[in-house]
Structure 1
């Protein structure tokens, strides 16, 4: 995550020597951008951020303007915990009054009973605890998207210094908070979750593979040839003799993946690894974020590569819709 530019509140603009007219003029010129009513930030820095990188700033801006105390939940709490999610979402907060709430101005409110509600202070915000955060996402997100945060919390998070949660802890957190239908969705997602998925993209891929009715792949399969270890494959279908690789941009830009290499050196090394895998008599199919976002794209790639199905896609979707 890149460094985020500071926020400028309109109520403090005079401290910075900006009159309301000068503030408006800078917005029109693009020097500033309005994050939400009454909150601004540096325009060029904002535009350099990807939408999901802008999201924490949207949360900060909401925290500045909302009545205190505000409890952030679902995707907003996940962002604060460093838990990956799919898509860009409005800022999400809890209301403890069951009056329907009011969702507007880029903020979505959800009712939550006080019973069993665990809230912690994180980065200056009040957020739902990790277990409640991922359970809410599992209850109210599509199955394939819900798997991403669940897989993540089942692994240690060294970046944020957080230990892995267990499936038993997640199951125990369901309690009586959710409806019977929501609880079934959560339990199905927990049962499918797997800490062996190495990234958000791999988790989303795995869930889409399951929804499309393909055979369950082996995760992180190790390969070797006569020259020694080749490396690990994201997905491996032994019977179909197919290896699947998700290409996230982090593989070629993040230090922990580059291990001292340049991006071009990483690309060459990846190509050499793929050639060695192909030499073992295996077919390699690759996909990226764009393929995951395009409905049916991953399914078509795997079908063309000859990956076997355990049952038809429609049968899988019918089973999920009954949850």
Structure 2
């Protein structure tokens, strides 16, 4: 989606114009103030999804900071197109001040030895490279966030970004993180699987692991007498059980619709599921609502009959 242009009060001041008019337009609802001295047209801002607003906030920060800034963590991830969990994120940037971790001017700073970090340019802004960005999220955010971003970078991307290898990710750990952070990264990296098809599938699998449900096989091909039926998101073959994460947004994406209307896509999905059930499998479906908390998802899986992991037997 096209991002709205930024309207800067400093630009008007340089032209000798009264920037106070921007504040009046914001008060009347014509503009939306997204950062001190930075505005966008309110109608354009409201049209953005929460995840599309975050890169605009990063650009707004970059436009008002005195020196050119290197963005990191969630901010770098957003500019690389990596999936972020949640909708509210502050802007994150590097600092060479070893008292990092402080917020200043609406930007959270993190100490980084820039001589040890590869810096790249993305959408006109400086960011930590993909390896460091992915590892930072695995090190400092939840296990679910770490798995989601590592699943993502291990597979080819639609914008021609090559997948990262496990070897280069493991190589980026030593010397850059504390022992505890390195253990968190390695746990997420060991668990990561590029076969996961979406952030919702990654979060689902990570929560299954956390909640000690038996892990499913991914993207299993199902066929019937008529031929190919589907690849299922999750499959527990011993239980004849399939699981499908339904992000709902896919019914609005052109690459999924392939010229169909959302209603036609839903009808096709129903026929696909009927054919899966006809092979003797049960099919369970869930959305982001069931993933809202570990307890909610655990209750859903248990009620659906998803098997638990078997605990190792104790030897006498």
Look up the match of 2:21: 22
1:222 counterpart = 2:221? yes
Whether the aligned pair in 2 keeps the contact of 1:90 and 1:107 (CA below 8 Å) is yes
Structure 1 residue 14, shift from structure 2 partner: 5.4
Look up the match of 1:108: 108
Look up the match of 1:129: 129
1:294 and 1:192 map into 2 onto residues whose CA distance is 20
Look up the match of 1:263: 262
Aligned residues: 311
Look up the match of 2:152: 152
2:16 and 2:5 map into 1 onto residues whose CA distance is 16
What is the DSSP-based 3-state SS (H/G/I as helix, E as strand, rest coil) of the residue aligned with 1:252?
helix
**1:101–1:285 CA distance, 2 compared to 1 (3 A):** closer
1:273 and 1:93 map into 2 onto residues whose CA distance is 46
| Mean CA deviation greater in 138-147 or 250-259 | 250-259
Structure 1 residue 69, shift from structure 2 partner: 2.2
2:99 and 2:145 map into 1 onto residues whose CA distance is 29
What is the DSSP-based 3-state SS (H/G/I as helix, E as strand, rest coil) of the residue aligned with 2:82?
coil
**1:9–1:284 CA distance, 2 compared to 1 (3 A):** same
**1:23–1:114 CA distance, 2 compared to 1 (3 A):** closer
1:246 and 1:114 map into 2 onto residues whose CA distance is 40
Structure 1 residue 152, shift from structure 2 partner: 0.5
Look up the match of 1:197: 196
1:96 and 1:292 map into 2 onto residues whose CA distance is 38
Look up the match of 1:58: 57
Look up the match of 1:69: 68
**1:115–1:17 CA distance, 2 compared to 1 (3 A):** closer
**RMSD, aligned α-carbons:** 1.8
Query: Per-residue CA shift, 1:77-107, capped at 9, x if unaligned?
Result: 0111111111131010011110245304432
Look up the match of 2:290: 291
What is the DSSP-based 3-state SS (H/G/I as helix, E as strand, rest coil) of the residue aligned with 2:283?
strand
**1:103–1:144 CA distance, 2 compared to 1 (3 A):** same
| Mean CA deviation greater in 39-48 or 97-106 | 97-106
2:150 and 2:16 map into 1 onto residues whose CA distance is 47
Whether the aligned pair in 2 keeps the contact of 1:94 and 1:111 (CA below 8 Å) is yes
Whether the aligned pair in 1 keeps the contact of 2:217 and 2:235 (CA below 8 Å) is yes
2:100 and 2:93 map into 1 onto residues whose CA distance is 13
Structure 1 residue 284, shift from structure 2 partner: 1.1
TM-score (norm 2): 0.94
Look up the match of 1:319: none
TM-score (norm 1): 0.92
1:51 and 1:241 map into 2 onto residues whose CA distance is 38
Structure 1 residue 296, shift from structure 2 partner: 2.0
1:129 and 1:270 map into 2 onto residues whose CA distance is 39
- Structure 1's consecutive aligned runs of 4 or more residues displaced over 4 angstroms after TM superposition are 14-18
Whether the aligned pair in 2 keeps the contact of 1:250 and 1:257 (CA below 8 Å) is no
**1:30–1:230 CA distance, 2 compared to 1 (3 A):** same
**Structure 1 runs not aligned, ≥5 long:** 316-323
1:195 and 1:117 map into 2 onto residues whose CA distance is 25
What is the DSSP-based 3-state SS (H/G/I as helix, E as strand, rest coil) of the residue aligned with 2:172?
helix
What is the DSSP-based 3-state SS (H/G/I as helix, E as strand, rest coil) of the residue aligned with 1:191?
helix
Higher RCO (C-alpha 8 Å, min separation 6): 1
Structure 1 residue 49, shift from structure 2 partner: 1.4
| Mean CA deviation greater in 188-197 or 278-287 | 278-287
**Structure 2 runs not aligned, ≥5 long:** none
**1:286–1:75 CA distance, 2 compared to 1 (3 A):** same
Look up the match of 1:186: 185
